[in-house]
Chains A and B, each alone.
Chain A
Amino acid sequence: MYTLIFKTNIESELALKEIEVALVADTNLLDWSIDREDIDKVLRVESKINNSKEIINTIRHAGYICEELPD
């Protein structure tokens, strides 16, 4: 299992719902959450594989900023 961390601009309830819809199709994801209280709106994903690039594409496709947050 991989824990992947991203910086985003997902802030509103609406944004959260849109991301929910976007991520539900990815069967590799075991769990995910967004810390909307943090300045980087951190998206935290627990995934079966290291599919950071796909996740970034999905979020960007939904119209939001997404980049990997480096260690």
Chain B
Amino acid sequence: MKHLFTYIFLLLGSVSFAQPGPDPKKEQKIQALYVAYITQELKLTEDEAQKFWPVHREYDNEIKGLRAETSELERQQAALNIKKKYQDRFTRILGAQRTNDFYIKDGEFRKKLIERLKNMRQQNMLRQQNFKQGTMQRRQNSLP
């Protein structure tokens, strides 16, 4: 009986600690931006949005599940298979052209994020350089 309780506690611990913990608010904010971007770019109607986003959520969950793939090539192949799998469902909601546009806009949103990330890091680098130069200048000025 003592061992049984030990197993239960270990299981509870593993279950509780196995849960991933990203910041929910930050995730929600960037997800909302993504939904807003795709909705505006594809000009989704209310009816299309109500049908599209639940399917997209399933699609997105499967794409997120690919993170554990062993190699990049295999991951890309698996992602392509998932896109093919959802192609028909997206097409029934959006049509073929807008489904194709969805993939394009999805990529453009990522590029925007990367661009944003790059700009943030460059600005941060410039701030650090300016701070270092200012510090050095102040030191030189303080010298007799």
Q: Do A and B associate with each other? A: no
Residues of chain A touching chain B, judged by Cβ–Cβ distance below 8 Å, are none
